Chains A and B, each alone.
Chain A
């Protein structure tokens, strides 16, 4: 059953590509600044965080310049949060497709997860510029960064399958998503390093799969930064768990989408 639906996803890979391509194409149409928004968002958040958390509140950043420290997390975070709010609504915003044509419904959240990538790459460019500015030369660990990006995509796909499917029946989800994202920002080591928390809270933090993914990503970029393998390992397991739960719930409810959307 499982393999059958996977092979079907593979058969529809071109549609996945076109749906993602549509999301990308449409995103900045008629926006004067266009793709520059992919830089503006993390850049300005970084400036504000640096001012309020770095300077005024004096949040530590493990010896890394605070702007760079926060931007390392803000680029993946922006991808995650923007994609989640889009993918979580991907089924209801494409109800015209769902009621008129057959295709594996999971393509819609998957396309959102994929369609967020160009913005992420542009944001990564900004990150490179900042690293150059602070004369931070990445080490070999940079080569591991794509693994964390992949983890991020899997996580956002898993969470949004669950949320998007619930959203079809319970429109409350639509209102809960921005709220969820807001909370998620604070329980993830973006503004602060994971080590900022007391030891026992760090263990709870590890249950947030985003914590390990973002700390891991940061550790890949900054040379000689210790990667907390327990944190990363726990996050990897939780990410896969979320994917499985999301996929199971999606499969269970998928058949009723066209009837109740």
Chain B
């Protein structure tokens, strides 16, 4: 595989001070005249947006760039697109590049839809003939055929966006550099954009793609580069990189919890929960829990004096307190005639956690025969479910689409349809 992009030891420095100082000629003149008398005291704050970044991207590779805001992703794209220049290091790009750091770059309010297509296309590197040939397709994609001769200042923001993306989707570069364009627009249009990206990928192009939409990155990209604080933290198969990247966010999700110190608890206390763990199938602690994951909930308990027929159970609530489900050993018909004193644990294995990404709360309880309650901890465990590519469609799903999802498929009969799978 030939390299489409080679980046060697790339660094980019910004001097924040240099921006504010000397931007007025006056300062420059004053400094010039006083320079010999006064030592320059102002220290410019230096920020390294990129530090010794090196990687190679092969032809036809589709690579996602992920990282927090301000990590240096956009600077990297700008350097690769020749918009800004590196302080040191080398960048080599082979082929025709189109970079989309914004949708509708150079749109002019006063110009009509058609005129803006020509202008924007030309700015993005299309030839006039190319634009002419694709004009109808672009208008169709954007769905603004009726407004082709209306100045875009009369367009809604959605129409403008669609027009901008429509032009971009009809570019024909060897290398496409895209920054976060999918973060905007309604769900239907996002889908359209993802499909267009899919086509770009199958069209054999090299694509570099910055996004915060992990589902889209996982779906579209085979490889991901995680940039943190100007440096490459991880570079590898997309799902692996996304996994470790997401685990850094999980500060709110603890894999284990000590329950001995919980004060507000109910029950008579002969047997109490002492701890709680989220585990993967193979017994590792799980810090990132994603929609559709298989999961083991391990409940540790301590028995002070032996109890008869204890039933272990839990309730799952939404953050707003709606009960989603209750499950326990009683529901499954498991009876324990006698639990001797000592420590132990019990596992609840979930094959597929069919929860939409959101925050949930767990209530734990141990009950006995009749109305007997040994231990009750209300909303004591927080469960943070992260998004995942659950329908293998690359669509980013969240709590707007409900609380749960089911293992499912759609079948169409007699209707031609295209399914995009990731």
A-side residues, CB < 8 A to B, are 14-15, 18, 21-22, 25-26, 29-30, 94, 96-103, 169-172, 255-256, 258-260
Report B-chain residues with C-beta under 8 Å of the C-beta of A260. Answer: 18-19, 23
A239 to chain B, nearest CB (A): 26
A170 to chain B, nearest CB (A): 5
Residue of B19, B25, B105, B111 touching A26 (CB-CB under 8 A): B111
Assembled-state Cα–Cα distance A107/B117 (Å): 19
Report A-chain residues with C-beta under 8 Å of the C-beta of B111. Answer: 22, 25-26
A97 contacts B23, C-beta separation under 8 Å: no
Residue of A25, A101, A102, A255 touching B106 (CB-CB under 8 A): A101
B-side residues, CB < 8 A to A, are 14, 18-19, 22-26, 28, 78, 81-85, 97, 99, 101-102, 105-106, 108, 110-111, 115, 118-119, 122-124, 127-128, 151
Residue of A18, A29, A99, A102 touching B110 (CB-CB under 8 A): A29
Assembled-state Cα–Cα distance A94/B123 (Å): 12
Assembled-state Cα–Cα distance A68/B26 (Å): 43
B108 contacts A100, C-beta separation under 8 Å: no
Supplied contacts A97-B123, A101-B124, 13 more A-B pairs, CB within 8 Å: A22-B111, A25-B111, A96-B106, A99-B83, A100-B105, A101-B123, A103-B123, A169-B23, A170-B23, A171-B23, A255-B85, A258-B78, A259-B84
B81 contacts A101, C-beta separation under 8 Å: yes
Most buried by A among B83, B110, B115: B83
- Known contacts A101-B83, A259-B14, A15 near B110 by CB under 8 Å: no
Report B-chain residues with C-beta under 8 Å of the C-beta of A256. Answer: 85
Report A-chain residues with C-beta under 8 Å of the C-beta of B108. Answer: 22, 26
Assembled-state Cα–Cα distance A99/B28 (Å): 25
Q: Which residue of A lies closest to B27 (CB)?
A: A170
Assembled-state Cα–Cα distance A172/B127 (Å): 37
- Known contacts A103-B123, A171-B24, A25 near B83 by CB under 8 Å: no
A97 contacts B106, C-beta separation under 8 Å: yes
Report A-chain residues with C-beta under 8 Å of the C-beta of B122. Answer: 14-15, 18
Report B-chain residues with C-beta under 8 Å of the C-beta of A14. Answer: 122, 127-128
Report A-chain residues with C-beta under 8 Å of the C-beta of B18. Answer: 260
Q: Which residue of A lies closest to B116 (CB)?
A: A22
Assembled-state Cα–Cα distance A257/B177 (Å): 21
Report A-chain residues with C-beta under 8 Å of the C-beta of B97. Answer: 102
Most buried by B among A22, A25, A258: A22
What are 25 pairs between A and B in contact, CB < 8 Å?
A: A14-B122, A14-B128, A15-B123, A18-B122, A22-B108, A22-B111, A25-B111, A26-B111, A94-B106, A96-B102, A98-B83, A99-B83, A100-B105, A101-B83, A101-B106, A102-B81, A102-B97, A170-B24, A170-B25, A170-B28, A171-B23, A172-B26, A258-B78, A259-B14, A259-B84
Closest A-B pairs by Cβ, 5 of them = A102-B82, A18-B122, A29-B110, A255-B85, A258-B84
Assembled-state Cα–Cα distance A100/B118 (Å): 17
Assembled-state Cα–Cα distance A133/B328 (Å): 104
Report B-chain residues with C-beta under 8 Å of the C-beta of A99. Answer: 78, 83
Q: Which residue of B lies closest to A97 (CB)?
A: B106
Assembled-state Cα–Cα distance A256/B78 (Å): 12
Report A-chain residues with C-beta under 8 Å of the C-beta of B151. Answer: 29
Report B-chain residues with C-beta under 8 Å of the C-beta of A259. Answer: 14, 84
Residue of B14, B25, B101, B128 touching A100 (CB-CB under 8 A): B101
Q: Which residue of B lies closest to A99 (CB)?
A: B83
B23 contacts A101, C-beta separation under 8 Å: no
